[in-house]
Structure 1
Amino acid sequence: MSCQGYDLIGDIHGCALSLRMLLARLGYRQVNGVYRHPQRKVIFLGDIIDRGPHIREALQLVRSMVDAGEAHIVMGNHEYNFLSYMTPHPDRPGAYLREHTPRHERILQQTLKQLAPYGSEQQDYMNWFLELPLFLEFEHFRVVHACWHQGLIDRFRDQYGGPCIDHDFLCHSAIEDSFEWEVMDRLLRGTHLRLPNNEMMVSKDGFRRHFFRTKFWMPDPQYLVDVVFQPDPLPAHLARLPITPEQREDLICYGPDEKLLFIGHYWRQGTPEPVTNNIACLDYSAVKFGKMVAYRLDDEPCIRPDKFVWVDVAREVHLSNVEVGAS
């Protein structure tokens, strides 16, 4: 039977048990080892790996659905980070595209640990990650992990003929400020601004940051607080600073008349709801005991609050089932 609707699912981060519960809630059942629905398909928004306790199981579940034609997927920044971390630098013997720093190792440690006993399988997943599209566009909606930047996407399509990268593109993306670097930074990490006066903030996950994530749909923001889009608030003395002309150049606006857009990445909290009438973020911090969220998309012209479906990880997933791998 042809697909009659899509269920878009946000960041999984190794929470395979929560994912199974969510798929069951959406009406999917395992048939011959693959989750299937008689009328619908899933679209995964990336970030299947890192942080959580069941990364290998999550990868097996997601890939089996994609390979069977029961799901689509876009690349997340964590799949990209893993690829870059594991890929030798072509011009610097002994180095890798993503430096092996303590910070980078900390982010990837659970994936590295859980896949280490399965060397050939790990290489196979690396090959698969490289094939994942950066974005998907359908007749009335779009999908990208963090930010839809039309200008970069148009240029990328012109040069590569579709939504996927290759090994050379991956290598060039390690060169800061190159076109390839900008594509991966914008589409997989989103827009961001540097904190003024070289200030630094420590996020709830313990990382020191000089940048903060920003909204990419505000038509005329005036102050920094108007564009911040992350769980960690800006320091009070910075929040009301006016946006400078230089900062404004780094912001973009996904307009209200654009197609419906589905993103992950941003660690939202609370009850799932639309970001705007045409944007839904489906990352609600499942690996931090938040919610694993889906949106049941049919042919509605705007994002509807009643179409979100979720599993409340803290309440519904018993701790004995070790959904406790978050760092």
Structure 2
Amino acid sequence: MLDPARSYDLIGDVHGCALTLEHLLDRLGYHKQGGVWRHSSRMAVFVGDIIDRGPRIREALHIVHDMVEAGQALCIMGNHEFNALGWSTPALPGSGKQFVREHTPRHARLLHETLTQFEHHPGDWHDFQQWFYDLPLFVDAGRFRVVHACWDAGLIEPLRALFPNGCIDEPFLQASAESGSFACTVFDRLLRGTDMRLPHGLTMTSGDGLVRSFFRTKFWEDDPKTYGDIVFQPDALPEPVAQTPLTSTEKNSLLRYGSDEPLLFVGHYWRSGKPAPIRPNLACLDYSAVLYGKLVAYRLDQESRLDPNKFVWVDVERPEVLQ
């Protein structure tokens, strides 16, 4: 799907920040020609989550869709595109669910901005949902890889056998409504990442007000000792929990993306601060754009190890969110 000899601009979670996306594309040397943002020699690769939360979701989708259709970009699926498909797709009979993604208040809240902004454009929204099926769950270009949240070879290889280009279909989406199924596990791991239950039945309230009994974990740490060594989310663990030693069973259950594997780009994790590699072969490009953070890109050429100087970003101004 990608020419490994070409140069690429990997771009993090947009979440409806269309104005900022245009500013970033301009900074990267793309120009709008014939209604499409283009570059003379490079190509954009979006890590998913174009929709939800932001003020210009429809505009952001048109920018990315038109670039993809013109061969100027590739976009993979994020958990928010999956959520949108699941919300509108009936579950299989006998599943005990009406829709693949049940219409709970929490799920409704996450999709609220998208559904509201498309309220007077139902045909447009229908077409975009069909296009979401063209967004692969992963890209493996040999020297680099792209997935929204987590690269798990144990799931990607059997998934690739079913869908060689990484693009799933409606029956696979419907199969994910069954908890513990292969489809459910694929979407959860690749699009949401790895997690671990908090010890002793504890829960914590995240910055977005949701009460969780699990926390997101790193999938690359070589020799972690405590819960604090593996946490990877905006909300810190309570200090007593962070200092709790991992059991051998917990350590053995952790996924590890090796330091000798190809470059990997992900989004999803709401990072902050100055964009930088996590490891020489791993970068997260989600720097909380829709929370007045940064919309971040990495300019990939032929390097086999990430260069901290090749991150490019635009700070999201409040007018993007308020206007």
Same fold (TM over 0.5): yes
Instruction: Provide the residue aligned with 1:221 in structure 2.
Output: 224
Does residue 1:278 correspond to 2:276, yes or no?
no
Query: Of residues 53, 63, 78 in structure 2, which corresponds to 1:61?
Result: 63
Tell me which amino acid in the other structure corresponds to 1:109: H
Q: How does 1:1-327 map to 2 (within 5 A)?
A: 4-91=6-93, 95-313=98-316, 317=317, 319=318, 321-324=319-322
Determine helix, strand or coil for the equivalent of 2:265: strand
Query: Residues of 1 paired with 2:180 and 2:248: CA distance?
Result: 20
Q: CA offset at residue 242 of structure 1?
A: 1.2
Comparing 265-274 and 111-120, the one that deviates more: 111-120
Query: Residues of 2 paired with 1:174 and 1:125: CA distance?
Result: 22
Aligned 8 A contact 1:215 1:227 in 2: yes
Q: Deviations over 1:241-272 (max 9, x none)?
A: 11123423431100010000000000000000
- Name the count of aligned residue pairs: 319
Q: Deviations over 1:4-35 (max 9, x none)?
A: 41000000000001100000000000000000
Comparing 237-246 and 59-68, the one that deviates more: 237-246
Aligned 8 A contact 2:92 2:174 in 1: yes
Tell me which amino acid in the other structure corresponds to 1:202: T
Tell me which amino acid in the other structure corresponds to 1:233: A
Tell me which amino acid in the other structure corresponds to 2:180: D
Q: CA offset at residue 293 of structure 1?
A: 0.2
Determine helix, strand or coil for the equivalent of 2:123: helix
Aligned 8 A contact 2:52 2:80 in 1: yes
Determine helix, strand or coil for the equivalent of 1:169: helix
Deviating beyond 3 angstroms after TM superposition, the runs of 4 or more aligned structure 1 residues are: none
Tell me which amino acid in the other structure corresponds to 1:231: P
Q: Where in structure 1 are there 5+ consecutive unaligned residues?
A: none
Tell me which amino acid in the other structure corresponds to 1:134: L
Q: CA offset at residue 205 of structure 1?
A: 1.2
- RMSD value over aligned CA atoms? 1.5
The percent identity for this pair of structures is: 53
Q: Deviations over 1:204-242 (max 9, x none)?
A: 111111111111011121110000011100011111111
Query: Residues of 2 paired with 1:297 and 1:146: CA distance?
Result: 19
Tell me which amino acid in the other structure corresponds to 2:59: E
Determine helix, strand or coil for the equivalent of 1:280: strand
Aligned 8 A contact 2:92 2:175 in 1: no
Aligned 8 A contact 2:19 2:320 in 1: no
Query: Residues of 1 paired with 2:122 and 2:140: CA distance?
Result: 34
Determine helix, strand or coil for the equivalent of 1:80: helix
Query: Residues of 2 paired with 1:180 and 1:88: CA distance?
Result: 16
Tell me which amino acid in the other structure corresponds to 2:32: Q
Determine helix, strand or coil for the equivalent of 2:290: helix
Q: Deviations over 1:18-57 (max 9, x none)?
A: 1000000000000000000001000000000000000000
Q: CA offset at residue 304 of structure 1?
A: 0.8
TM-score (norm 1): 0.94
Aligned 8 A contact 1:10 1:44 in 2: yes
Q: CA offset at residue 188 of structure 1?
A: 0.3
TM-score (norm 2): 0.96
Q: CA offset at residue 94 of structure 1?
A: 8.1
Q: Where in structure 2 are there 5+ consecutive unaligned residues?
A: none
Query: Residues of 2 paired with 1:159 and 1:24: CA distance?
Result: 38
Query: Residues of 2 paired with 1:263 and 1:118: CA distance?
Result: 31
Tell me which amino acid in the other structure corresponds to 1:132: L
Comparing 36-45 and 174-183, the one that deviates more: 174-183
Aligned 8 A contact 2:297 2:311 in 1: yes
Q: CA offset at residue 90 of structure 1?
A: 2.4
